[in-house]
Amino acid sequence: VATRSHWQADLRDAPDALVATSAERYDVAVVGGGIAGVSTAYWLHRLEPGLRVVVLEGEHLAAGASGRNAGFLLQGADPDYATTVDRLGRDVARRLWELTMETRQGLVEALGGEDVGLEEHGSFVLAGDEAEDERLQRSEVLLREDGISVFYLPPAAAEALGCRGMKGALVVPTGAVLHPVRTVHALADRSGAAIRERCPVLGVATTGDNVELRTSQGAVRAEKAVLALNAFLPRLLPDFEALVRPVRAQMLVTAPVTRRLHVPVYSHVGYFYLRQLPTGEVLLGGARHLHADAERGYDDATTPVLQADLESYLHEHFPSLAGGEVVRRWSGTMGFSPDGLPAIGRLPGEAHVWGVAGFTGHGMAYGFRTARAVAAAVLGLPDEYSDLLSVSRLSRGPHASADSSGPA
């Protein structure tokens, strides 16, 4: 039985796609209606307003990970900056921090006041042990040297937050959270694109100067195409199995309890992540590292053992939030890249087809700004992050292996 997230619970079923006809032609077809797909459509519209763009989504907007995540806008590539500096180098770490800040700021500007549940009260990274505590202290120093203001709090202050058994905390004032499904819909509304839901793409072929997308509803032709499928890319094109690996993440939500937590929290290197909604529900995800083998693949299901670990975490570390009954559990499929960063590139041998994938559990934090780089690549325009995000970096040699970049 497929799961449905807290955010997807009150979505209506998408209407059937209009049957495509051979007369249906676009300048750009974007495949995938998650945060990456709708953001790419949005940026294509911003960069070249007259373009005719279509988004082809197999189920409904935000059906994938984009509708199932925690809605955290992580700042930087890992919950602690020292880890990013160690694995990717200082310059890349700083640029990734800027990219995620630009995502947050860009969303605020693009969505201009629309209620997408955005809360910009900062975020907390809590240390689960001494080693993580030491990395948070180092992160504070490194970030401040790089001109980014964050604050380290010692364990006693972290306890004052109401959490138990943690070491110190890093306060990140620019951290934020949002409602991911509302965000995807708001961007789709502002993209000027035609949205075709229940329209899975079954094949992609270039014929002459056109790309033909074979869908369950007929063929759609476009001059260019972008595959924004993240974890699902290898399902359409198995050659990409080495680039993006499907990894499951699970979450739960409880009935409302008195609101005590006003900021999102990451702990245990991002392997646990927790937030409380203004209406009191507690959302909690993670524990994947305790079940690494079981959490590989596309199976949309929750498991009693991992869910029990989530509940134990809540009782042990946030007892004041643990009183609500669990009212929903769900899962989603993330797409992990070899170095933990999203990758953008033209498909080999396809002059008119681009792909973006590999958000490695951080697509809400990276997606909107990354999509600008995708749109720029499609239009032949420069983007300051195109080198950082280009898939060609992976053939130049790995930055470093990254399997731990939380949350999720």
Ligand X SMILES: Cc1cc2nc3c(=O)[nH]c(=O)nc-3n(C[C@H](O)[C@H](O)[C@H](O)COP(=O)(O)OP(=O)(O)OC[C@H]3O[C@@H](n4cnc5c(N)ncnc54)[C@H](O)[C@@H]3O)c2cc1C
- In the complex, the smallest distance separating the C-beta of residue 264 from ligand X, rounded to whole angstroms, is 8
- When binding is defined by CB under 6 A, the residue of 168, 285, 340, 345 that contacts ligand X is 285
According to the binding rule CB under 6 A, does residue 181 interact with ligand X?
no
- In the complex, the smallest distance separating the C-beta of residue 30 from ligand X, rounded to whole angstroms, is 10
Provide the pairing of β-strand 123-126 with 72-73: unpaired
Question: How many residues are there in the chain?
Answer: 408
According to the binding rule CB under 6 A, does residue 367 interact with ligand X?
yes
According to the binding rule CB under 6 A, does residue 321 interact with ligand X?
no
Backbone CA torsion sign across 394, 396, 401, 406: negative
Range in contact with ligand X (rule: CB under 6 A) among 15-23, 69-77, 163-171, 375-383:
69-77
- When binding is defined by CB under 6 A, the residue of 17, 63, 176, 193 that contacts ligand X is 63
DSSP states along 11-32: PPPPPPPPPP-TT-EEEEEEE-
According to the binding rule CB under 6 A, does residue 334 interact with ligand X?
yes
According to the binding rule CB under 6 A, does residue 355 interact with ligand X?
no
Q: Which of residues 14-43 bind ligand X (CB under 6 A)?
A: 31-37
- When binding is defined by CB under 6 A, the residue of 95, 182, 329, 362 that contacts ligand X is 362
- In the complex, the smallest distance separating the C-beta of residue 215 from ligand X, rounded to whole angstroms, is 7
Give the CA angle between residues 175, 177, 179 to the nearest 5°. Answer: 165
Give the CA angle between residues 224, 101, 330 to the nearest 5°. Answer: 75
Closer CB to ligand X, residue 104 or residue 135?
Answer: 104
Range in contact with ligand X (rule: CB under 6 A) among 13-21, 287-295, 311-319, 357-365:
357-365
- When binding is defined by CB under 6 A, the residue of 364, 375, 376, 389 that contacts ligand X is 364
- When binding is defined by CB under 6 A, the residue of 81, 232, 271, 318 that contacts ligand X is 232
Angle of helix 363-379 relative to helix 35-47, nearest 10 degrees? Answer: 40
Give the CA angle between residues 175, 176, 178 to the nearest 5°. Answer: 160
Q: Which of residues 79-138 bind ligand X (CB under 6 A)?
A: none
- What are the beta bridge partners of residue 124? 171, 265
Q: Which ranges of 165-242 would DSSP assign to H, the alpha helix?
A: 180-190, 233-236
Q: Do 211 and 309 contact (CB within 8 A), yes or no?
A: no
- When binding is defined by CB under 6 A, the residue of 45, 71, 198, 339 that contacts ligand X is 71
Report which residue type is found at 54: V
Closer CB to ligand X, residue 38 or residue 137?
Answer: 38
Cα–Cα distance list, 150 to 88, 96, 122, 130, 407 (Å)? 20, 16, 10, 19, 19
- When binding is defined by CB under 6 A, the residue of 17, 51, 54, 56 that contacts ligand X is 56
- When binding is defined by CB under 6 A, the residue of 70, 263, 306, 376 that contacts ligand X is 70
Residues 133-172, mask of contacts with ligand X (x by CB under 6 A) = ----------------------------------------
Residues 243-272, mask of contacts with ligand X (x by CB under 6 A) = ------x-x---------------------
- In the complex, the smallest distance separating the C-beta of residue 259 from ligand X, rounded to whole angstroms, is 19
According to the binding rule CB under 6 A, does residue 183 interact with ligand X?
no
Give the CA angle between residues 261, 265, 270 to the nearest 5°. Answer: 160
Range in contact with ligand X (rule: CB under 6 A) among 54-62, 86-94, 155-163, 308-316:
54-62
Residue 111 exposure: Cα atoms within 13 Å on the Cβ side: 25
Q: How far apart are CA 198 and CA 9, in angstroms?
A: 18
Structural element, H or E, at residue 111: helix 90-111
Q: How many CB atoms lie within 10 A of CB 15?
A: 9
SS3 40: helix
Please, which residues have CB within 8 angstroms of residue 6's CB and are 6 or more apart in sequence?
Answer: 251, 253, 281, 283, 328, 330
- Which spans of this chain sit near ligand X (rule: CB under 6 A)? 31-37, 56-59, 63-66, 68-72, 74, 200-201, 228-232, 236, 249, 251, 285, 332, 334, 359, 361-365, 367, 407-408
